[in-house]
Amino acid sequence: MPSDKLWWARFHGYMKNRSDDGTLMQVSPQREWAEEYDANSYPFERACSFGVPLIDITSAALLQERVLKPLLASVRGPHALLHA
C-alpha cells in the first residue's frame, strides 16, 4: 500500500465530536473537509471507525462483541443485530 494512504487509519482522531467508547463514527471527507477535499486523496465516500481502545479487547469473545458484530451490523443495516 502506498505510504500516502496509510494515514487513513487515523481518521478517527480527526472526526468532529468523536466518541472513544466503541460507538460507530462516520465521516464524509468531501463534506467535512470541503475546503481541502481532493478526490485523489479520498477515493471513497465515507470512513467509519469504532474507537475501541485495544487494551479493552482481551479475548476473542470481546473482539466479536465490541468490533465484529457492530461492524457487520453497520454493513448489513440497522436490523442486522436482530439476526446476529
Judgement on whether residues 44 and 65 belong to the same structural domain of the protein: no
pLDDT tens, position by position, 27-73: 888 888 778 777 777 777 888 888 888 899 999 999 999 888 888 88
Judgement on whether residues 36 and 61 belong to the same structural domain of the protein: no
Please state whether the predicted TM-score (pTM) of the whole model is above 0.85.
no
Q: 62's torsion region: left (phi>0), alpha (psi -120 to 50) or beta?
A: alpha
User: Any residues with CB less than 8 A from the CB of 75 and at least 6 apart, and which?
Assistant: none
Judgement on whether residues 17 and 2 belong to the same structural domain of the protein: yes
| Counted domains in the chain | 2
Q: What DSSP state is assigned to residue 75?
A: H
Task: Tell me which residue range forms the domain holding 14.
Answer: 1-51
Judgement on whether residues 69 and 37 belong to the same structural domain of the protein: no
Judgement on whether residues 64 and 29 belong to the same structural domain of the protein: no
